[in-house]
Structure 1
Amino acid sequence: MRILLLEDEKDLGIAIKRSLLGQNYVVDWVESGQEGLYLLENPNINYNVGVFDWLLPDLSGIDLLKIIRAKNNHLPVLMLTAKDTMTDKITGLDAGADDYLIKPFEMLELFARIRALLRRNQEIKPQQLKVKNLILDYQTNTIKIELKLGKIEMIPLTNKEFNLLEFFMRHPQQILTRDQLLDQLWEIDSDIISNVVAAQIRLLRKKLSQYECDDLIETVYGLGYRLKLDN
């Protein structure tokens, strides 16, 4: 799941991004509304949730929200603000915000509100996603595997491995190119080396091989990678 975070308070932005990364989200953090608009207009990047601060330099979170709603962009958006009057809340909701969180707030509440927005998103209706014998639980952000005799074990994955396997599970049998994986699973400010995708898939395959799933992700030479459904 990819989140666009707009927050111009540097310490708060760092704290939110670090916390969301710990919840297995991919997070792009920018400090101005114009930067946020640029990313939202990039056709190669798809966000699942936006977390917008109300007061931003050059273009406020509210004005950005009005712009994207006018363009029929239905991205679920959580507004962050110190404005706590009823009038302010109504202004935010009328502009198209899906939820509203008053600063200061606890990270656990932020996580819960983001999960609620994701559940409302038409892309993610089920609480679980199952592909072959893999089970992704959106409530706990874990991936489990169903072994013989009905035994279920959790696969210990790093954040990047989790995001990579989740993306494959959401697109089974579909060839995913290196550029698609980079665009969806690596933050825009990442220091990316040329073979990072191949290296990450190699690590994921090694981990899956411990559960007799080492051939689950195949290389389609010259094109990309695919999660196989056939044996």
Structure 2
Amino acid sequence: MKVLVAIKRVIDYNVKVRVKADNSDVDLTNVKMAMNPFCEIAVEEAVRLKEQGIASEIVVVTVGPAKAEEQLRQALALGADRAILVPTDENVTSLNVAKILQALVVQEQPDLVLLGKQAIDSDNNQTGQMLAQLTGMAQGTFASVVKVADGKAEVTREVDGGLQTVSLSLPAVVTTDLRLNEPRFAKLPDIMKAKRKPLDKKEIAELGVTLKSTVNLVRVDPPAERKGGGKVASVAELVDKLKNEAKVI
């Protein structure tokens, strides 16, 4: 069984995001970049499927700048077999990414496509669902448990009311949630081996996709400053402040 895993290069979650002085975008100058945490979970799940003898090949792919090769090499060090970089310096929307992945699905013919449920930069939670629609595949989103057997994937989803389990016929698209697994750290020997694993580059035009966006970035602003809290001496004073200052009661 072949597993295709889509990953994304984002600002490291430990870094405080800065906005450019002209408010045109986020400032990426000298900022540490990393693999999206939800994508790390997707890679880990694919590796576990291979360790169980269920998956035979893991292919990782990303759409982004040339520097995103760093995150692909990280995925290779974690256990993926080969990687594909679709280079672009444009700010690609979720739908355009889904169309690029659709073209790669046609070429690679994977049995299972794994994606993080969302990226921590755009926070859209759209690409997996769009890819499932474009390819006509079954989909299981927000997966906290994935079991694959007999040509089917049993996915336990985290929903508002609790947990929901769905059975999907392969091929299928699954997006991963936080509680699915805990990603491993790459060992130094595996990092060295990853440098020799194949990494192909496929141009967007070669995939037959034309980038078209209906979304324009107008302005980026940092979150508003939060006021500091205060202390009260009694319950009566607290009630008074909630009623007369906060006006919530």
Radius of gyration: which is bigger?
2
- By percentage of residues, which structure has more helix? 1
Could you state the TM-score of these two structures normalised by the residue count of structure 2?
0.30
- By percentage of residues, which structure has more strand? 2
Using CA pairs below 8 Å that are at least 6 residues apart, which structure has the higher relative contact order?
Answer: 2
